Amino acid sequence: MKQVLLKDGNAILDDVPVPNADPGTILVRVHNSCISVGTEIAGMKSGGVPLWKRALQQPQNVKKALQMVREQGLSTTRAFVKDKVSTPQPTGYSAAGIIVEVGEGVTDLEPGMRVACAGAQCAFHAEYIRVPRNLAVPIPDKVEFTAAATVTLGAIALQGVRRANPTLGETFVVLGLGVVGQIVAQILAANGCKVIGVDPDIKRLELAEKLGVDTALDPSAEDSISQIHRVTGGHGADGVIVAAAASSDQVISNAFQMCRKKGRVVLVGDVGLNLQRRDFYHNELDLLISTSYGPGRYDGAYEEGGLDYPISYVRWTENRNMGAYLDLLAAGKTSIAELIGKTFPIDDAPGAYDSLNSGSVFPPMALFEFPASGSDEKIERTILNPTARPSKEGKIGVAVVGAGGFAKGTHLPNLRSLSEQYSIEAIVSASGHNANSTAKEFGARYASTDYSEVLLDSNVDAVILCTPHNLHASAVLSALRSGKHVLVEKPLALDPEELSQIQSFYDAEDLGKSKSILMTGFNRRFSPAAVRAKALVANRSAPMIMNYRMNGGFIPPEKWVHGPQGGGRNIGEACHIYDFFVYLTGAACVNVHATNIQPTDGQYLSQDNFVATLRFDDGSVATLVYTAMGSSDYPKESMEIFVDGKVIVLDNYKRLTIAGSDLKGVSHSTIQKGHREELEAFAIAINKGGEWPIPLWQQLEATQISFEVEKYL
């Protein structure tokens, strides 16, 4: 499918795989999408700014980069920054089309329905878009696709009016008569308000008068503040809605000065906010912020998770605002046709942005139009990479499934550096544009949004799974049943039933004869420090005491890590350390106990701060202190091993020292956690067969320990 992407300050049109309708989402064949001129042109311009200038503008990111250099080295940091700044980015956040597929759990929408869609994370300028249920609304029969495609801008305007809480007969000023300001003015008029529009652009003022504004003022030609007080009988406006975009603090100052006593100012646009107390204190004015298109925006549980807010408690969510705006269009209370300056065919996307950037299009809103689909149109979920080199015999053909930051920042660079062992055959991602750009960057043979494609590909010998945690177990089983080797990022499974299914596969297959190797991404055991520690304790004469501390850092409760996708921090991350204990002892765990800090407020969860104590059947005892309460300025991980008169100290995978012995430890200038080494071990196991890099029982054991700890948390 065709999709508009922004790269290096330019708009490009690329061919990318069509996404799937995942659970809780719908797949929409787009008819029109709305170009948000201000937002998207600003994005293009910022994308073309040299890196050094961006660094000056964002010093906080420079600090993060310097810390990353200290911990992970210059080459890794350079690759990370390059990916961030050079990867093509999707654009667009408002569209309308026809549903072609409905994901599991969506029961009130069906294929063939016309819908309007919103969201910068999904409503792209693309032939097909995958949209969460709460970001799509049915289109009334009287509303055309062209008008419905403006649903996001309409919902933004409507939410701004709702925040103002206008009443019949009040006078409102709309500061800034761009697209959102024009819609705001119409909604206020439909609400029975007198509307004064203020904008320095004469064309916008004329258009606003045509669309029903009572008074249009040019602040560059007259004192708009004095004029507003004159037309309101000396009282001032009941309220001002700021829909302008300007860096100046004067805009918000003017808004306050336009108000009557106890009036209100609603901020919808992006303006300078260096407030002056004198502007609002004496008249006791209220400043209200309108966040995008309403309650639910920026809430992952609502937008991606499908959790709706009860109408009895939250009358107007972003979804209900979207529907209400379309109803206004259907009733003729709001008109949008006069605000659309031009409709561009999607094939002319680069030229469209050139025209919009030059200011030659007025009114300043434009649409993309996509070609109508035929009844026999095939949905392509796999796109070949024309720049890929042919696969070579003797190499392990690998498909990377899940192209997030970890895959692109760690596994894929390592696979590329291990080109003598691996050939990157495929990149699979839920987002077609991400799969495509990643495939091109790392030379994969093709990009896909369809996991089953790689399972049927005879050139793919192994899959590396970097998907959300809740997808791991099912994806592992599918790959094993297809005869593929599997390296799955931790955790192996999120519950005992999933783990049992994996174990049952090998019980049925006969582990000693199975050709499919399973390796959980417990990379720490492959780090140079861990390998050295294992050698130091291999011939011990007595059990060990192991103390491990993980300064995990704070992650807000609403993040996916804590939810059904992530499984929580114990199962999702602490399993690394349980595997490390199993690796060092080579023994099974016979007793587990854990205690945690019960949260007293909403900042921390019950799995954020705990101490787990394990006893192994060789007599060794291990303790993990896991906390989210520490400072990021302090190293993340450390370990002490007390054994045979020695103390072995692991310092954040940079150093391993031994007290009580002249034996040598390990020292590195950067953190070395074994990611490259685990890929090397995986390749050796596949090519030579025989012993697995991590015995199956140890992978199962570490995961089972996490389940036992979870019972206490």
- What's the CA gap between 237 and 228, in Å, rounded? 7
- What's the CA gap between 232 and 260, in Å, rounded? 9
Residue 615 is given by DSSP the state E
Per residue in 435-484, pLDDT tens?
A: 999 999 999 999 999 999 999 999 999 999 999 999 999 999 999 999 99
Q: In this structure, which amino acid lies at residue 418?
A: L
- Exposed e or buried b for every residue in 301-318, given b needs 16+ CB within 10 A? ebbbbbeebeeeeeebbb
User: What domains lie within the chain, and their CATH numbers?
Assistant: 2-150+300-369 (3.90.180.10), 153-289 (3.40.50.720), 389-520 (3.40.50.720), 523-712 (3.30.360.10)
**Ranges of residues in the chain whose predicted pLDDT is under 50:** 52
pLDDT the model gives residue 76:
63
pLDDT the model gives residue 302:
94
- What's the CA gap between 535 and 434, in Å, rounded? 42
- What's the CA gap between 580 and 494, in Å, rounded? 19
Is the Cβ–Cβ distance between 158 and 321 less than 8 Å?
yes
Quick one: which of 269, 291, 316, 329 has its CA closest to 116? 329
Q: How far is CA 548 from the centre of its chain?
A: 31
The phi, psi pair for 701, rounded to 5°, reads -65, -50
pLDDT the model gives residue 228:
95
Concatenating the DSSP letter of every residue in 393-449 gives: TTSEEEEEE--SHHIIIIIHHHHHHTTTTEEEEEEE-SSHHHHHHHHHHHT-SEEES
- 326's enclosing H/E stretch is helix 318-330
> What pairs with residue 642 in β-bridges?
545, 647
Written as six digits, the tokens of 172 are 């409102």
What's the predicted TM-score (pTM) here? Answer: 0.89
3-state secondary structure of 625: strand
Is the Cβ–Cβ distance between 712 and 594 less than 8 Å?
yes
Instruction: Centre a 10 Å sphere on the Cβ of residue 426 and count the other Cβ atoms it contains.
Output: 26
- 215's enclosing H/E stretch is strand 215-217
